Amino acid sequence: MDLNSSFVQFSLFSFPFFLLFLLLPLSIHLLLRIKSSPSQVKARNLPPGPRRWPVIGNIPLFIWKNPHVIVSNLARIHGPLMSLRLGTQVIILGSSPDAAKEILKTHDRDLSGRCAPKATPIKESDLKKFSLLWATDCSPKWKSIRVLWKGELFSNKALEAQACLREKKVAEMVEYLGRKEGEVVKIGEVVFAAVYNTLGNLCFSRDLIGLGDEKMARDWKEVFWRFMECATTPLIADFFPVLDGLGLDFQGKKKQAAKCMKKMFGVWQELIRQRRESADDSKKHGDFLDFMLENGFLDIQILFMLLEILPAGAGTLVATIEWAMAELIKNKEAMIKLEEELQTHKIVDSNSIRESHISQLPYLNACVKETLRLHPPIAFLPHSAQSTCEVMSYTVPENSLVFVNLWAIGHDPTVWEDPFSFRPERFLNSNLDYKGQDFELLPFGAGRRMCPGLPFANKKVHLILAVLVGCFDWSLPDNRDPSDLDMNEKYAVPLQKEKSLLLIPHRKS
């Protein structure tokens, strides 16, 4: 089953827009409040943007599918720094490399806040205490969690120590696919199991999904995706904060998110309990959980961290690999070039690839960059303004949401030649990278909120893609022509293929 998912479900097309009209009497009240509200931004010197309706502002723009495409088209009309108003919420969108640089570098201090959607089933006070992703500001608490992640999970030393584990989980995936030779597989689900088990081993020293247990992989993927989708779908109170506290959740999204969270916490809590009970120095695992327990973290703190490591990590990685495979299947020339590169380096089975080979595979690297340019898993970097500042000669008011539109930058013909085509060659003989220095290519963000999982993701994506292409030939079900492969997107974070990619593996001879 396909489910939208996201860190920031900025999509409104599923939003019961008509409900706003049912609330018309309230609108009048709101209008009066807006007039006198000090946080209401005067139109003075805001970046340009499309015309707004009274009260609801630009909400009607989002009744159509794919908001990332809608706002990217609007940016071509209104410019690289644009403003929208959804209800009383001001939204600033940066849609060019220069605007991204201003937001993420020049004004990083002012614009590195976050605003958790109201559907997130976590109390604001808990988010402040325990969350990295949804920490409202870069507080000392947020900093200490990032330092912990960097040191324990993603430092060079930690990554080196985990290399065997990542390689082992990939080898298991290859073995499983070998058993599925000639059968149709949902590649997203297979990759999900490999990624989730890798992360599960980092945290708990054990697999969280049985290899080959397709139902379990499907169910867990669904729980993660549903959680992310529901927790981030805008509620009315996201646009009319004055309604916060009334618990208006017409679609039941907050309730569903809470249900998914309960399911995840239930399983992880049990693993924590077992570890606490068996805690004894002779049984150390050397994993993240041991570290957390040794350092006196409470269950609730550990659970919140897992919530940001497991769904966030697995979702983005799986989406990237599914898109990369879809592009390679559709673009035969690129697939052949990648196969040739892998054959030259004798990468023909999971034993012949080590992570250390990755830097010697320029075409593989170029394929990953090109995939992330065309299909950034997080289409909008979700920031907020902690204080009012001037950006590109416009005012960005305090408390406005500030999004960098990566999809618009990745598809801008003034930045990229032939931007809608998959052409990995554009990255060969180029120093352009996604480490946060080149503002044309920011799939992991930049600045202080940049993705802390980048070093891990970078290794895992390359490794999985190398074995999928190096060890197998792939065909589409019913002998369909790859050039007809449906590449439609469904807005979510991660940005998804509307139709899951179904493929048939054939062992390379």
Nearer to ligand HEM, 324 or 469 (CB): 324
Residues in contact with ligand HEM by the rule CB under 6 A: 132-133, 146, 308-309, 312-313, 316-317, 320, 377-378, 381-383, 443-445, 449-453, 456-457, 461
Token pair of 217 as six digits? 């992989």
CA distances from 185 to 169, 339, 474, 496, 505 (A): 18, 21, 11, 17, 8
The nearest distance, CB 190 to ligand HEM, in angstroms, is 17
The nearest distance, CB 494 to ligand HEM, in angstroms, is 8
Nearer to ligand HEM, 105 or 263 (CB): 105
The nearest distance, CB 104 to ligand HEM, in angstroms, is 6
The nearest distance, CB 118 to ligand HEM, in angstroms, is 18
What is the C-alpha to C-alpha distance for residues 132 and 135, in angstroms, rounded to an integer? 5
What is the C-alpha to C-alpha distance for residues 503 and 509, in angstroms, rounded to an integer? 18
What is the C-alpha to C-alpha distance for residues 504 and 499, in angstroms, rounded to an integer? 16
SS3 496: strand
Q: E strands within 311-465? A: 380-384, 389-391, 394-396, 401-405
Residue 119 · residue 10 · CB < 8 Å: no
The nearest distance, CB 47 to ligand HEM, in angstroms, is 19
Q: Tell me: is residue 260 an annotated ligand-binding position.
A: no
What is the C-alpha to C-alpha distance for residues 315 and 71, in angstroms, rounded to an integer? 24
Nearer to ligand HEM, 56 or 406 (CB): 406
The total of other beta-carbon atoms located within 10 Å of residue 343's CB is: 12
Nearer to ligand HEM, 19 or 432 (CB): 432
SS3 109: coil
Nearer to ligand HEM, 198 or 331 (CB): 198
Q: Return the closest-CA partner of residue 403 out of 445, 461, 360.
A: 445
Q: Return the closest-CA partner of residue 114 out of 401, 447, 446.
A: 401
Nearer to ligand HEM, 55 or 317 (CB): 317
SS3 377: coil
The nearest distance, CB 112 to ligand HEM, in angstroms, is 8
Residue 118 · residue 254 · CB < 8 Å: yes
Nearer to ligand HEM, 93 or 243 (CB): 93
CA distances from 462 to 162, 276, 373, 457 (A): 15, 36, 15, 8
The nearest distance, CB 305 to ligand HEM, in angstroms, is 9
What is the C-alpha to C-alpha distance for residues 335 and 473, in angstroms, rounded to an integer? 10
Residues forming the annotated binding site?
451
Question: What residues form the annotated binding site for heme?
Answer: 451
